[in-house]
Amino acid sequence: MKNTNKKNSLGSLKKIIKEQKQARNAEKKITLTVSAGTCGQARGSMEVIDFLNKTIKQKKLEDRIQVKVTGCHGFCEAEPNIIIQPDDIFYQHVKPKDSKDIIEKTALNNEIIDRLLYTDPSTKEKAKRGNDISFYTKQKRLVLGDNVLIDPTDINDYFSIGGYSSLVKTLENLTPEQVIDTVKSSGIRGRGGAGFPTGAKWEFTRKAKADVKYIICNADEGDPGAYMDRSLMEGNPHRVLEGMIIGAYAIGASEGTIYIRDEYPLALQNITLALQQARDFGILGKNILGSGFSLEINIVKGAGAFVCGEETALIASIEGKVGEPRQRPPFPAVEGLWRKPTNINNVETWGNIPLIIEKGADWYSQIGTEKSKGTKIFSLVGKINNTGLVEVPMGITLREIIFDIGGGIPKDKKFKAVQTGGPSGGCLPEEKLDLPIDYESLTKAGSIMGSGGMIVMDENTCMVDVAKYFLNFLRDESCGKCLSCREGTQRMWEIVTKISEGKGEEGDLALLEELAHAVKNASMCGLGQTAANPVLSTLRYFRDEYEAHVIDKKCPAGVCKDLIKYTILEDKCTGCMACIKPCPVNAISGELKKVHTLDENKCIRCGACYEACNFDAIKIE
């Protein structure tokens, strides 16, 4: 569609949306929908797309088959994947060489290619359609669901699923106060970590007196293993923009900022394009759609500082200052960016707003629990069969996510723990698998919701090592402004490191616990206040592992290098030489079909030989 900057009214945009929806419904072509978010591209989706397009062109099938390039479909373990519409055929791990078969057999002749079907790790059954795959059946994909329907670089595709209808409804029929009341009644809470009620936050900013107000989208997703916001920005950037524009209208903001980390090149590319497209249609800028409301949104790139996920540190970074938190109050709603009232929400929160306006507060508030409404997106990673992004109703249990959606633990190993809430979250044991996921339940159990990271651990995970890993991350990311966080995280890391090296002493655990509480209670911002969670939760649920390290000088999981040794079992070694090749220090020697030997003095305990052995001939003790 041609550039229509400043010419569209509310009425003309409604007409455009209607026309695009009709065009989608009238589409007769077979559509090959390819996931091409960052994870898909990393596993070769762009090559698959090229081969599909070339095959279609060579066979002159342009009038019958089309390729739609979309963002992430959520099922990262299955990348690259293709959904063939209108029959919802789901193929996983697609390679360029599969293109010809997909087009000739499935698209043209409805023949299923068995080798490309998903196989359930528990039942070993194959699933033909996306809706039959266990990864998707228990999800409620309200925010992420449209990723599979649209090309994120085409605003018309967003129109074709009703995109920007909520904005039209807002500007045409609702006062700012009515929008805020709707958001408050929905019960949605901020998805960035703390879970503060979104409507109340908007109301505070609305009531603040100032000549200028700001909104900010926090896309500075910094938790290791978390990529929910990135995928939404990559796959459906206009949904985020629509939510921001509605929010700006509600609080009276005239300027907005998307603070996005520079490590997200595809998300940055797609949101930049979406902003320009919105301007071209008169959806951004002065006198939006003839409503009298004006808003401009710009982009600020973050440098990857974890602490800048905290609101006041983020504001300082936008202003060109060092990203350090400041004491609150005053809160950003009263005195934020450039000392003006500012509302900050994260990507997922903004992405929920168009749905709430479209379907109503009552509809949204029926989803979830009494105090935690709606859905939450988690990045399910670690020792899990089905890695990916899952969107589930609040109140679902950890067991349902890990075993029903996630498919359980690879190689039938035993589940040990799951960490929720990112580096500042807590590690919950098997006894907590039936815990409902909501803000209050997780906090009571010693963890947090956070932005949505969920890392699964199996029997071979050492919880002391886990605590050490996250403490190392947190001490490095601490801005250093307050002593309790700066010195406390460093000292906790030193104690846990000493324990992992077999140098722990009587009294270390008591000191570690006391120090963790001091850091939690005395730190100024959320980073320091939650930095003790990895320590406190692992001490609470896995104290016996700490005691084994301190008292017995053993690592029960066989992870901590200073407390283990590798031994080759003579009765099991076949002399296959598989363990010799990967050893980086030549610690293993032997001849073909003869028992090998391992030199303990050379061994660096890297585990390469253990992973390579197919006969369980290497023992960790």
Using one digit for the tens of pLDDT, what is the confidence trace for 339-349?
999 999 999 99
Task: pLDDT band for 3, please (50, 70, 90 cuts).
Answer: very low
The answer, yes or no, to whether residue 466 has pLDDT greater than 80, is: yes
- What average pLDDT does the segment 515-527 reach? 93
Triad 187, 342, 147: Cα angle to 5° = 55
CB atoms inside a 10 Å sphere around CB 617:
22
- What average pLDDT does the segment 182-198 reach? 93
**3 state DSSP class of 385:** coil
What local confidence, expressed as pLDDT, does residue 5 receive?
46
Between 336 and 121, residue with greater pLDDT: 336
What local confidence, expressed as pLDDT, does residue 285 receive?
96
Under DSSP, the state recorded for 129 is: B
Distance of CA 513 to the CA centre of its chain: 30
Looking at residue 272, its amino acid is T
Triad 488, 489, 492: Cα angle to 5° = 85
Task: pLDDT band for 424, please (50, 70, 90 cuts).
Answer: confident
What's the CA gap between 410 and 313, in Å, rounded?
40
Using one digit for the tens of pLDDT, what is the confidence trace for 78-123?
999 999 999 999 999 999 999 999 999 999 999 999 999 999 988 8
What local confidence, expressed as pLDDT, does residue 225 receive?
81
The answer, yes or no, to whether residue 201 has pLDDT greater than 70, is: yes
Q: Compute the 3-state secondary structure of the chain and give helix, strand, coil in percent, each to the nearest 5.
A: 45, 15, 40
What's the CA gap between 526 and 481, in Å, rounded?
13
What local confidence, expressed as pLDDT, does residue 226 receive?
87
The answer, yes or no, to whether residue 524 has pLDDT greater than 50, is: yes
Task: pLDDT band for 526, please (50, 70, 90 cuts).
Answer: confident
What's the CA gap between 199 and 364, in Å, rounded?
13
What local confidence, expressed as pLDDT, does residue 122 receive?
84
* Beta bridge partner(s), residue 33: 68, 83
> In order of start, what are the domains of the chain with their CATH numbers?
26-139 (3.40.30.10), 155-365 (3.40.50.11540), 375-458 (3.10.20.600), 463-552 (1.20.1440.230), 565-621 (3.30.70.20)
What local confidence, expressed as pLDDT, does residue 2 receive?
42
What local confidence, expressed as pLDDT, does residue 362 receive?
97
Task: pLDDT band for 8, please (50, 70, 90 cuts).
Answer: confident
CB atoms inside a 10 Å sphere around CB 318:
21
What's the CA gap between 102 and 219, in Å, rounded?
37
- What average pLDDT does the segment 357-372 reach? 97
Using one digit for the tens of pLDDT, what is the confidence trace for 240-250?
999 999 999 99
What local confidence, expressed as pLDDT, does residue 224 receive?
82
Between 551 and 621, residue with greater pLDDT: 551
The answer, yes or no, to whether residue 145 has pLDDT greater than 80, is: yes
The answer, yes or no, to whether residue 124 has pLDDT greater than 50, is: yes
Task: pLDDT band for 378, please (50, 70, 90 cuts).
Answer: very high
What local confidence, expressed as pLDDT, does residue 1 receive?
39
pTM of the model: 0.94
* Beta bridge partner(s), residue 258: 217, 299
The answer, yes or no, to whether residue 6 has pLDDT greater than 70, is: no
Using one digit for the tens of pLDDT, what is the confidence trace for 16-60?
999 999 999 999 999 999 999 999 999 999 999 999 999 999 999
* Beta bridge partner(s), residue 91: 82
Query: In this structure, are residues 484 and 522 in contact, taking their beta carbons and an 8 Å threshold?
Result: yes
* Beta bridge partner(s), residue 298: 257
What's the chain's Rg over C-alpha atoms? 26
Using one digit for the tens of pLDDT, what is the confidence trace for 262-273?
999 999 999 999
What local confidence, expressed as pLDDT, does residue 193 receive?
77
Q: DSSP per residue over 525-554, as a string?
A: SHHHHHTTHHHHHHHHH-HHHHHIIIII--
Task: pLDDT band for 4, please (50, 70, 90 cuts).
Answer: very low
What local confidence, expressed as pLDDT, does residue 584 receive?
95
Percentage of the chain modeled with pLDDT above 90: 91
What local confidence, expressed as pLDDT, does residue 299 receive?
98
The answer, yes or no, to whether residue 178 has pLDDT greater than 70, is: yes
Which candidate, 385, 410, 439, 418, places its Cα nearest to that of 197? 439
The answer, yes or no, to whether residue 218 has pLDDT greater than 60, is: yes
Using one digit for the tens of pLDDT, what is the confidence trace for 530-576?
999 999 999 999 999 999 999 999 999 999 999 999 999 999 999 99
What local confidence, expressed as pLDDT, does residue 114 receive?
96
Task: pLDDT band for 423, please (50, 70, 90 cuts).
Answer: confident
Task: pLDDT band for 192, please (50, 70, 90 cuts).
Answer: confident
What's the CA gap between 192 and 184, in Å, rounded?
17
The answer, yes or no, to whether residue 588 has pLDDT greater than 80, is: yes
What's the CA gap between 194 and 215, in Å, rounded?
18
The answer, yes or no, to whether residue 223 has pLDDT greater than 90, is: no
Place of tokens 């910094």: 222
